[in-house]
């Protein structure tokens, strides 16, 4: 949102109120008109008479500019001319500096983590039976109910309801529970509760509006994208863009931030930028091992373990699987590949539970400011 200060001009500045001739203009209001631009009308004339004679012109001051005219309202200082002659209509003009709120759409790229859907989904509600009971009966009812099922452990069993307590029963209450309520003239009602456990603070706030939920801290936590981390990935992105050009490129850095390779695709249908980068790192390692005579202890892990990879385009499924097998730590890309993308474009391999390594996936997304 930009606030633009504009003076009188072509846009949202000249406010006009059309006033028809023929209305009685009593003295002294008529003095706002002049005859031929000289002298105010002081007699009890009418607007209609002034217009018929071509003498009814209103003078409006804006700074040092005065606008006069008999066959039309000329604005020579600004180069505007009113299209309606004075003898047809009299126009009142109000000219003043105007503050206009102008919505200007501005695109901005932001680096975000592509999280599993359970971290970003909204609240999903399900029907559940509930009974409002006096506090004295709550303990007895809870013993009869037993615990909630594992997939509903995120729900709090009781919430205050005035001076009483609302107790979640079950999706379909048992006969003994219904008999307990019936004997005490308590009727069960249906409420809606969150079906899934909240995993983020925003979900916690949203889900709790429907029914109280317990705080749960999952082992998987979203990355904290600090300015330093964004700058690190931004630097690798520029290297990938410089190396790949329009065809696309890849840059890889080790856990310390040291650049290992920045490359483009090579000849061959399988030599995509990610595959070339992995092959380059492997070849460099082979040369080191040949010079040393053996593989050093610190290099006994996977060749690309804990590396950061940035690509100009989302890697295809083949390249995505190769990066996962190489044990890279974080992968960021710019352009989505909806046809063959392996990190969300076509399939999200990083979310496959059967794989034993799950890198963090980031992407630059365009946001509208």
Asked if 190 and 231 sit in the same domain, the reply is no
Asked if 8 and 97 sit in the same domain, the reply is yes
**Residue 262 within any structural domain of the chain:** yes
**Residue 108 within any structural domain of the chain:** no
Write out pLDDT tens, residues 126-160: 999 999 999 999 999 999 998 899 999 999 999 99
Asked if 76 and 130 sit in the same domain, the reply is no
Q: What's the pLDDT score for residue 105?
A: 59
- Count each helix (H run) and each strand (E run) in the chain, helices first: 7, 21
Asked if 231 and 364 sit in the same domain, the reply is yes
Spans of the chain below 50 pLDDT: 1-100, 102
What is the rounded CA–CA span in Å between residue 246 and residue 269?
17
Q: What's the pLDDT score for residue 296?
A: 60
Q: What's the pLDDT score for residue 298?
A: 58
Sequence-distant (6+) residues with CB within 8 A of 324 are 349, 350, 355, 357, 358, 359
**Residue 296 within any structural domain of the chain:** yes
Write out pLDDT tens, residues 326-359: 999 999 999 999 999 999 999 999 999 999 999 9
Q: What's the pLDDT score for residue 106?
A: 66
Asked if 200 and 233 sit in the same domain, the reply is no
Q: What's the pLDDT score for residue 84?
A: 38
Asked if 244 and 178 sit in the same domain, the reply is no
- Domain CATH number, residue 363: 3.40.140.10
Q: Which domain holds residue 267?
A: 227-368
Q: What's the pLDDT score for residue 87?
A: 39
Q: For residue 294, what is the DSSP state?
A: S
Number of folded domains in the chain? 3
**Residue 110 within any structural domain of the chain:** no
Q: What's the pLDDT score for residue 104?
A: 56
Asked if 162 and 275 sit in the same domain, the reply is no
What is the rounded CA–CA span in Å between residue 273 and residue 47?
80
């Amino acid at each position: 949102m930009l606030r633009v200060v504009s003076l009188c001009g072509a846009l949202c500045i000249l406010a006009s109120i059309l006033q028809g001739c023929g209305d009685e203009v009593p003295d002294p209001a008529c003095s706002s008109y002049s005859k031929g631009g000289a002298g105010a009308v002081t007699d009890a004339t009418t607007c209609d008479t002034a217009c018929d004679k071509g003498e009814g012109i209103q003078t409006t001051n804006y700074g040092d500019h005065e606008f006069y005219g008999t066959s039309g309202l000329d604005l020579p200082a600004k180069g505007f001319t009113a299209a309606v002659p004075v003898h047809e209509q009299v126009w009142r003009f109000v000219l003043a500096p105007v503050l206009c709120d102008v919505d200007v759409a501005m695109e901005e790229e932001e680096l975000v983590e592509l999280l599993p859907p359970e971290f970003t989904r909204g609240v999903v509600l399900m029907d559940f039976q509930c009974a409002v009971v006096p506090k004295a009966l709550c303990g007895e009812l809870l013993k009869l109910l037993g615990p909630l099922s594992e997939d509903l452990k995120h729900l709090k069993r009781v919430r205050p309801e005035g001076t009483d307590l609302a107790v979640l029963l079950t999706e379909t209450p048992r006969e003994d529970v219904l008999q307990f309520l019936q004997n005490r003239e308590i009727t069960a009602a249906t409420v809606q509760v969150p079906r899934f456990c909240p995993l983020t603070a925003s979900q916690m706030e949203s889900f709790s509006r429907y029914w109280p939920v317990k705080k749960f801290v999952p082992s998987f936590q979203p990355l904290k994208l600090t300015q330093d981390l964004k700058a690190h990935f931004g630097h690798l992105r520029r290297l990938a863009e410089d190396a790949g050009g329009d065809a696309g490129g890849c840059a890889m850095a080790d856990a310390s931030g040291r650049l290992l390779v920045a490359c483009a695709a090579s000849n061959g249908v399988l030599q995509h930028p990610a595959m070339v980068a992995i092959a380059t790192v492997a070849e460099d390692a082979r040369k080191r091992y040949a010079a040393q005579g053996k593989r050093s202890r610190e290099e006994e892990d996977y060749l690309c373990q804990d590396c950061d990879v940035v690509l100009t385009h989302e890697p295809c499924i083949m390249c995505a699987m190769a990066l996962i097998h190489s044990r890279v730590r974080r992968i960021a890309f710019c352009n989505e590949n909806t046809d063959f993308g392996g990190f969300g474009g076509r399939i999200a391999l990083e979310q496959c539970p059967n794989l034993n390594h799950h890198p963090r996936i980031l992407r630059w997304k365009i946001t509208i400011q």
